[in-house]
Structure formats: C-alpha cells, structure tokens
Amino acid sequence: MAIATSHHGQNQSINESNRKHQRIERQFTSDQIAALEIDFFYTKYMTRRGRIQLARRLGLNERQVKIWFFSRRKKWQNESRISNHPHGYLNVNTTN
C-alpha cells in the first residue's frame, strides 16, 4: 500500500508542477484589439519602449504585446503573399 500511495503522491506533485508551468491563454478585449490594430497599421515593428507604453495603456504586459505583434506580422505576411499570387491564392502543395 505504501508504494501505491507514494506513486500517487508523485503523480500529484508532477501534475501540480505542470499546472504551474502551463500558460493561460487570455483573450483580448475588443478595445485592446482595436488599439493594437491601430498601432500595427502605423508600426509593424514596435520598439521596446513603445511596447511598454502600449502595454501600460491597455492593461497588458509587455510580453503579451510583443507576441500579439509577432502573430499579427505573420498574419499580415501570409495575407500579402496570398494577395500577390496571380490566382488570388497560394497553393502550398507543390507535388506534381
């Protein structure tokens, strides 16, 4: 019995440890997204000072703003590639 209890205790502590390291996905409010989009329209690559100021203004942390801008740039690049394609789409599968 002691082994089973010990084994269960180890699993419990591992699960608690994993929970500490799991990130919580937070959604942005519509006002935050609108402000982020406006800044993105004018500046695709924001300076650290700009990120800090924007984060404070929106009640976010700098990392959230940094990741949002990174993701938004990737989306923008993909949209640019698709719109520049002669047929209006980008065929990812190039196997013939």
- How far is residue 47 from each of residues 17, 32, 53, 55, 61, measured CA to CA in Å? 34, 18, 10, 12, 14
At residue 26, the pLDDT reads 76
Lowest mean pLDDT among 1-10, 26-35, 80-89: 1-10
Eight-class DSSP state of 61? -
Question: Could you give the CA distance from residue 23 to residue 11 in angstroms, rounded to a whole number?
Answer: 20
Per-residue pLDDT of 33-87, as tens digits, reads 999 999 999 999 999 999 999 999 999 999 999 999 999 999 999 988 887 766 6
Per-residue pLDDT of 30-46, as tens digits, reads 999 999 999 999 999 99
Q: What is the CATH number of domain 28-86?
A: 1.10.10.60
At residue 93, the pLDDT reads 59
Q: Domain locations in the chain? A: 28-86
